């Protein structure tokens, strides 16, 4: 299913979730420094680069494209960390990958068009920065060392975050759900 919006095509899966993709961009294979970008709506706040999957686009391709547009980097696509769901009003399903940065552009699409910035953070610092504005993005980083189980534990707001294995279309991926209503407000 597709929904058209000026300058944007939104795609949805069979369950009505908006299809999204993102990458945790690392400076090296140590995965100890991650690149965050400024939010387009809140330029003083940091987010993980990502966005909507276009029609006939695979999530891994969308993740690489979004990182190039939003962060101005290219690199080696790594593993899928998980598929994160947001089940409230917006119903997003985001495929989150790792990417080792091999090329950094001086000027890139979002830096020129909207003044987006990027900054390297140590992973623990990035988690703290993301907790206040984009808690689910902080969860992406927690996934680096954690394995998603039936209950990940309480979020900052006290809601439990549930996870489940997807249906037989992609049985080897893990889906993490969150109840935060502010997740993709960019």
What are the structure tokens assigned to 146, written together? 């954690």
Q: Is 69 a catalytic residue?
A: yes
Catalytic residue among 31, 57, 69, 109: 69
| Beta strand ranges found along the chain (DSSP E) | 2-5, 8-11, 18-26, 33-38, 46-47, 50-52, 73-86, 92-104, 118-122, 151-154, 160-165, 174-178
Torsion-angle region of residue 91: left (phi > 0), alpha (psi -120 to 50) or beta?
Answer: left
Alpha helix (H) residue ranges in 115-157: 123-133, 135-142
Which phi and psi (to 5°) does residue 101 adopt?
Answer: -70, 130
Three-state DSSP at 61 gives helix
Active site residues: 69
């Amino acid at each position: 299913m597709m929904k058209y919006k000026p300058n944007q095509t939104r795609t949805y899966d069979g369950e009505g979730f908006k299809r999204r993709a993102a990458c945790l961009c690392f400076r090296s294979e140590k995965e100890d420094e991650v690149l965050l970008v400024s939010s387009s709506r809140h330029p003083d706040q940091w987010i993980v680069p990502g966005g909507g999957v276009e029609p006939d686009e695979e999530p891994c391709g969308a993740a690489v494209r979004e990182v190039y547009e939003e962060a101005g980097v290219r690199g080696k696509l790594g593993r899928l960390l998980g598929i994160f769901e947001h089940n409230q009003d917006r119903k997003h399903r985001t495929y989150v990958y790792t990417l080792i940065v091999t090329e950094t552009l001086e000027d890139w699409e979002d830096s020129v068009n909207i003044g987006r910035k990027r900054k390297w953070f140590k992973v623990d610092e990035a988690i703290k920065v993301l907790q206040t504005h984009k808690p689910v993005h902080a969860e992406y980083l927690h996934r680096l060392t954690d394995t998603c189980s039936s209950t990940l534990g309480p979020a900052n707001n006290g809601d439990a975050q549930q996870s489940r294995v997807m249906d037989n279309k992609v049985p080897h991926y893990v889906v993490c759900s969150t109840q935060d209503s502010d997740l993709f407000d960019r």
